[in-house]
Amino acid sequence: MRNRILTWIVLVAAVCACSLSARAQAASRPEPRDATAVAAYRAGDLAAAREGWLAVLAAEPRVEGDERARILYDLGNLAFREEHTAEAVGWFTASLRLRPRDADTWTNLERARRAAELEPADRGDLGATVRRLLTAFTRSESHWLTLIGLVGFGAALAFEALRGGRTARWLVLGGAGFAALCAAPALHTAWTRVDHPALVVEDGKALVRSEPRNDAAVVGEAALGTEVETIDALPGWAKVRLGDGTEGWVGERAVFALVR
């Protein structure tokens, strides 16, 4: 009897939490701030649409979360229509960092990469699939997931502390695995995290120079579509670090910042 009552209490609490969460989300959903940009895009005035969306991105208070991802996505579509396919790849990639499971963004990203003659972002092999699974959560989602894993692991530890025995030990092992699985996206994000990621959008390849001068020695090359880290900037120039650790300067327009 007591168990049944407890079950009901938990169920009612869960329903209330869901409803409150939905209400909170609805409350945080703003009125569309980019109506002018959307209208300009529909009318074919791409310059006005770009200006409108960039203004929304720069506005204070800063637009965050899914809304920001949506605007980045729309800017990707706009760049694609302007036939700036490499830039479109950059916008879609930036959008996916904020909203990694959006099917439209993935579709358009792959389309833009194809148009820019780049390899697909998701090649469909095992490595790519695992990578996509690990990056399928936003930062906050991966942290919540980690917390869930820790709670499960904690429950298993508590059981083991109170009861002991072989079953409890197996439970602890399972709990540790569950926690590791839940924490994997967050760990992957932490492991691969780059402070200022950028995408090379120069046609063909960008020449990395030792100094921010056009006649400086070339110390490396970065192919179109390569992800690099921006570590410094000067007017017209950006200092980047390549995947192999090479550091050097490229033209400011050769790279597209992925955190926007």
Partner 1 sequence: MEFRFVRALRVAVVLVLMCGFASAQRVPTVKAHIDPITVKLGAQASLYVEVENAQAGEIGTLPTVEGLRFGPVGPPGMTSYTEIVNGRMSSKVSLKWRIAVQPLKKGEYVIPPFTVRADGRDLVTRELRLLADEDFRGDELGLLEIEAPSEVWQGQPFTLVIRLGFDTAIQGRLNRYDLALPWLGELGGLVELEDVPIPSGRSAGKILLNSRQELEVEAFGTRKVGNANFYVLRVQKRFVATRSGSFTFPASHFEFGHRGDGFSRLLGGGSDDFSNFKRAPAFDVLVKPIPEAGRPIDWSGGVGTFEASAIADRRDVVAGDSIKLTVEWTGEGNLEFFDVPDLARLDAFRGFRVYGTQDRKTPNRRAVTYDLAPIDAAITEIPPVPLSVFDTKSGKYATVATKPVPIRVRPLVGATGLSTPESAAAAMTDLRDIQTRPESAVRPWAPSGRALLAGGAELLVAWFVLRTFVRRRGDPDAPRARARRRARRDLERALRLARTPDEQASAVHAFLAARSGETPEAWAGRDPVAWTRSREDDAPRIAVEDAAALRQLLARLDAAIWGGGGASKLDDREVLTLADRVAAGGL
The residues binding partner 1 (CB under 8 A) are 25, 28-34, 38, 41-42, 63-70, 73-74, 77-78, 80-81, 104, 107-108, 111-112, 138-141, 143-144, 146-147, 150, 153-154, 157-158, 160-165, 168, 179, 183, 186, 190
Q: How far is the CB of 149 from partner 1 (least distance, A)?
A: 9
Phi, then psi, of 140 in degrees rounded to 5: -70, -40
Strands, sheet with 197-200, edge to edge from the N-terminal-most edge strand: 218-223, 205-209, 247-251, 237-241, 227-234, 197-200, 255-257
User: Are the CB atoms for 234 and 212 separated by under 8 Å?
Assistant: yes
User: Are the CB atoms for 48 and 37 separated by under 8 Å?
Assistant: yes
Q: Which is nearer to partner 1, 111 or 260 (CB)?
A: 111
User: CB-based contacts of 108: which residues, under 8 Å, 6+ apart?
Assistant: 73, 76, 77, 80, 88, 92
Q: Which is nearer to partner 1, 91 or 249 (CB)?
A: 91
Q: How far is the CB of 157 from partner 1 (least distance, A)?
A: 4
Q: How far is the CB of 237 from partner 1 (least distance, A)?
A: 31
Q: Which is nearer to partner 1, 186 or 254 (CB)?
A: 186
User: Are the CB atoms for 37 and 75 separated by under 8 Å?
Assistant: no
Q: How far is the CB of 240 from partner 1 (least distance, A)?
A: 26
Q: Which is nearer to partner 1, 107 or 210 (CB)?
A: 107
